[in-house]
Amino acid sequence: MIVAEKLSKYFGSKKVIQDVSVEVQRGAITSFIGPNGAGKSTLLSMVSRLLKQDDGIVYLDGKNVHKQKSKDLAKTIAILRQSNVVQMKLSVRELVSFGRFPYSSGKLTEEDEQKISEAIAYVNLEELEDKYLNELSGGQRQRAFIAMVLAQDTDYILLDEPLNNLDMKHAVQMMKLLRKLVEDFGKTILLVIHDINFASVYSDRIVAMKDGSIVAEGPTDDIIQSDVLKSIYDLDIDVHNISCNRICVYF
């Protein structure tokens, strides 16, 4: 379980995160939603020790994140940031093998190779594994990065806008893949996501943020309500039940 206690973060004199406390349950998809600049990405960065908070503590399975060895953490928690622009000429397989770095520091064992192949197969990139990343489409590249995170084999997976640059088909594929990870392997997934309908359909819990604070939090169905969404986005949003899913209409 991830527990954040009274996290605060300043950039200069500007407070981007303000006394945020949140608990994330294991074996579920938790989506962080909210307008731009709400502090969602910053929160994820602090939870994954990429960024040091100015105040507060993050506990991962009961242990303070910033007091653990970075290398050990890399076996428990993985984060993928927003922009994965790669300047380098790396093949898909080379990228995915980075995921094994916490385990073998680059000297890949038989077991590592096995895990790499499995991860590549899981995202259906077997045929492209020797292609360079810059030869792939946006969706394929995104999947390659997901495969790397899979190879890292962590209990917790944090994804910052994983649907960026994906068309509808690939966005749906991506979310189904994440859902499958939770169901098949009991992974705990934290997402920053902008499309509330994707959040509504695929997540178990939703945390809504605004201006550096959490404004609403709970099971998906409790959050996807017209009045709650209005308070988050300042926008009139109709919520309809369509084939068992709660769909927001806000156009």
Nearer to another protein, 42 or 200 (CB): 42
Out of 13, 36, 87, 243, point to the residue binding another protein (CB under 8 A): 87
Task: Enumerate residues 6+ apart whose C-beta is below 8 A from 125.
Answer: 92, 140, 143, 144, 147
75 binds another protein (CB under 8 A): yes
162 binds another protein (CB under 8 A): no
Nearer to another protein, 63 or 89 (CB): 89
* Site map 88..117 versus another protein, x via CB under 8 A: xxxx--x---xx-xx--xxx----------
Stretch that binds another protein, among 10-18, 68-76, 184-192, 228-236 (CB under 8 A): 68-76
67 binds another protein (CB under 8 A): no
Stretch that binds another protein, among 44-52, 196-204, 205-213, 238-246 (CB under 8 A): 44-52
Rg (CA), the chain: 18
Nearer to another protein, 31 or 45 (CB): 45
Nearer to another protein, 94 or 217 (CB): 94
| Interface residues toward another protein, by CB under 8 A | 45, 48-50, 69-75, 78-81, 86-91, 94, 98-99, 101-102, 105-107, 132, 152
